[in-house]
Chains A and B, each alone.
Chain A
Amino acid sequence: MDCGAFDGQVVRLEGIKDIADKFVRVRLTRIENVDLNLFEFDYDVTFMVFFLNAEKKVFGRYGGRDAEGADARQSLKGLKYTMESVLRMHEREDKVFAPKSGEKPRFIKDIPGPRGFGRDCMHCHQVREALNAELHKAGKLTREAVYRYPPPDNLGMELDVDRGGTVKAVKEKSAASAAGLKAGDVLQTLNGVPIHSFGDAQYALDLAPKEGAIEVVWKRDSKVHREKLTLAEGWRKTDLLWRASMRDLLPSARLSGFELSAEEKKALGLWSKQMAFRQRESVSKQAKEAGIRAGDIILGVDDKSFEGDLEKFKEYVQNTYLVGDKVTVNIVRDGKREKVVMMLVK
């Protein structure tokens, strides 16, 4: 099911009519006049739900996705679970709200940069493109900065799609495991953000630093636990290829050719499944400028070799570098190993 089908079910209130009647329901299909500091979300997704009170204080979010698909992380059961959780919070005296990145309203018209269809009509992902352009101008568009809204899986905890912040599984030897989390635990807060859903967890992790530790609070059998989750270097890294906002930032390796045979690999001392291909006759402009010639055998970049084929190699380059980065291409020429530096382009 694509997110359009899920959206249709939500519009028709399939299975959620009773609980939905306890909310004032608003549907917005335009991003141009939205306060981006109030409605902060992963602008590469095309569906997101916010729960807030009349004072514009946000209880939580519902939505979010990963490379697997637009609906891999959402379900009507899960939405209902989150709505129930939000209603309980709304009825409490000591309500807890999600933090905001900025108090002052901020609109897309306030951000200089590309506008896609013009000031009055934008895709949501173009908001991210404008924000990225702003970062780029300020010299802050690093690889870390493009890994937005990392899923809790990156810290070793998988949340139950149908049950908001309930942990479905914990990966061994992960940050979550080290903190003591177990399947069945229910997240209360993460990095200071109240958790009602996977979308909340992604938001909480988006606010987290690139290294260090954040607090996680969870409930197990009515008992509240509080621990630190360690954020190791590179923890934010996720697959970027599905993100429309990244189209102009992800580079192409611009190398192509034919896989080496098993005998050829053996003769070069490579392992049998190692990626290795012979550059075809036609060499791209930037490969030529780097000094790569037809017939060179490409083994990898920056001394990284791969198991797999050329496609795997191209995927790695796109997921690891940005347009404008320089990489060292590891090659074999006339039987000798060499390195050439190549600038990556779109």
Chain B
Amino acid sequence: MKSGLFVLLALAVVVLVDASLMAQPRGPGRGDSEAAKNGWIFSLEEGITHAEKTGKPLMVVFRCVP
């Protein structure tokens, strides 16, 4: 009985960990606090609004790190 409960708990932990990896945040990606410090923003729409206000072109970096 105890071992069955242990297996269930272990499975629940695996599922929770996996779900947390799948559901990454929509904003800055992992390790992007350094990017924020260097003036990078993490939303294209926000960037376009800035570009409209300042007249600057946009530099959009794609870094594929899911």
Contact = CB atoms under 8 A, between A and B. Distances in A.
Contacts, number: 140
Contact of B57 (A11, A13, A52, A120): A52
B4 interface: no
B56 A27 contact: no
B22 A27 contact: no
Contacts of B3: none
A30 B43 CA distance: 11
A121 interface: yes
Given A27-B41, A31-B64, A117-B66, A51 B59 contact: yes
| Contact count band on B | 35 or more
Interface string A42-60: 0001111111111010010
Contacts of A11: 32, 34-35, 38, 40
B66 A47 contact: no
A56 B60 CA distance: 11
A118 B22 contact: yes
Contact of B32 (A27, A48, A86): A27
B2 interface: no
B1 interface: no
A187 interface: no
A53 B65 contact: no
A118 B46 CA distance: 26
A90 to B, nearest CB: 5
A10 B61 contact: yes
A26 B29 contact: no
Interface in A18-52: 20-31, 34, 39, 41, 45-52
Interface of B: 22-24, 26, 28-30, 32, 34-35, 38-44, 46-48, 50-52, 54, 56-66
